[in-house]
Structure 1
Amino acid sequence: MPATTETLTAERILAATEEVLRRHGPAKATVVDVARALGVSHGSVYRHFRTKAALREAVTKRWLDRTTEVLAAVAADTGLDPEDRVREWFATLFAAKRRKAGLDPELFATYTVLVGESGEVVNDHICDLTGQLTDIVRAGVASGAFTVDDPETTARALFQATGFFHDPGYAKEWERPGVQEEFEAVMDLLVKGLRG
């Protein structure tokens, strides 16, 4: 095994893990494969991630966090009125999911498996996303644009109502003709509901 001169960091391990997953898939990828790709012993990887499950959970979190960060920028954009922020937030989410599924379908399928294994990571991710939506809805209520009693419950309902456009289980449907128009029609209905 060749020695590496670069410092072994959690981020390097996660990047290598993503490549190993892309190459071998979740069923065959091992910690030994990750270590080999990095030119280190598998014990070096285990010093950063105590178990294979912890490594898989961390790489899943890293993947989900990329989407969370992009959406946080939209949620924080007070230059948009609340209605436009809701629309832009969901459009950004849908576009990100479609891009991930379309550009690298093998890795998307791999992450779909990993997401299924990482219940707590997924729950935290959904809480982060619905938290962003709650902030947008709250701003809409404060400005008088939205008339809802409970912004948090409303945000969760919005997220659930749009599941077709971000739940990986529907990925095959996202490229069929007319899906963008369906998305826009759903957004029109939801935004009308927020106005009261």
Structure 2
Amino acid sequence: MAPTETLTAERILEATEEVLRRHGPAKATVVDVARALGVSHGSVYRHFRTKAALREAVTKRWLDRTSDALTGLVTETDRDPGARLRDWLRTLFEAKRRKAGDDPELFATYKVLTDENGAMVNAHLDELTGQLTRIIEDGVTDGTFTVTDPPTTARAIFDATQLFHNPAHAQQWTEPDIVTEFEALVELLMRGLRA
């Protein structure tokens, strides 16, 4: 790091991702992060009081990227809710596949970090099902969907599509027929919502 550059939480998180990618979660230390930034480990601790806090922040940042990518689809209320729901599910699937395929080392690291931060993961899952709920509610309001309990329906859709977004299934995302399977499931879900 250039001496005149300000040390920010965001810069620390970026460096932490790189250190985690290089060393893995078991070996990465705050000292490694500080070294990558050209500062003392005390400087890192001024922003993140503990190693666990730093790891939690990196995990949250990673999860938020997924949520943020989906938020725009939720707020496009001028579009057909069915198209928004399809796009939301497709965007989630593609984002997870891209993360797993483009940077498998970091993806494996995040699987470890999310296991450490169950409460944060649960909050993330609640946010995602909340987004689905809003799209389904819009569909009920305009007559696109005929469901009586949008939150329960949203959770059922999220659970039914686990194969396409749960990191535990990442190895299956490279199978040749995975996109066809995804499209078939989405079509089935859409028919059920409109029944």
Percent identity, aligned pairs only, is: 68
- Distance, in Å, in 2 between the alignment partners of 1:155 and 1:145 is 15
Corresponding residue SS for 2:25: helix
Query: Match for residue 34 of structure 2?
Result: 35
Query: Match for residue 64 of structure 2?
Result: 65
Query: RMSD of the alignment, in Å?
Result: 1.1
Following superposition, the deviation at residue 78 of structure 1 comes to 2.2
Q: What are the within-5 Å matches in structure 2 for residues 83-102 of structure 1?
A: 83-102=82-101
Following superposition, the deviation at residue 74 of structure 1 comes to 1.3
Query: Match for residue 128 of structure 1?
Result: 127
Corresponding residue SS for 1:8: coil
Query: Match for residue 12 of structure 1?
Result: 11
Corresponding residue SS for 2:24: helix
Following superposition, the deviation at residue 63 of structure 1 comes to 0.7
Give the gaps of 5 or more residues in structure 1: none
Letter in 2 for 1:154: T
Q: Which moved more, 1:55-64 or 1:74-83?
A: 74-83
| Per-residue CA distance 1:117-137 (angstroms, 9 max, x = gap) | 111111111111111101000
Give the gaps of 5 or more residues in structure 2: none
TM-score, normalised by the number of residues in structure 1: 0.97
Letter in 2 for 1:87: R
Query: Match for residue 182 of structure 2?
Result: 183
Following superposition, the deviation at residue 75 of structure 1 comes to 1.4
Letter in 2 for 1:130: T
Query: Match for residue 112 of structure 2?
Result: 113
Moved over 6 A (4+): none
Query: Match for residue 172 of structure 1?
Result: 171
Following superposition, the deviation at residue 3 of structure 1 comes to 7.1
TM-score, normalised by the number of residues in structure 2: 0.97
- Distance, in Å, in 2 between the alignment partners of 1:10 and 1:138 is 37
- Distance, in Å, in 2 between the alignment partners of 1:50 and 1:153 is 39
Number of aligned residues: 195
- Distance, in Å, in 2 between the alignment partners of 1:66 and 1:3 is 28
- Distance, in Å, in 2 between the alignment partners of 1:115 and 1:6 is 31
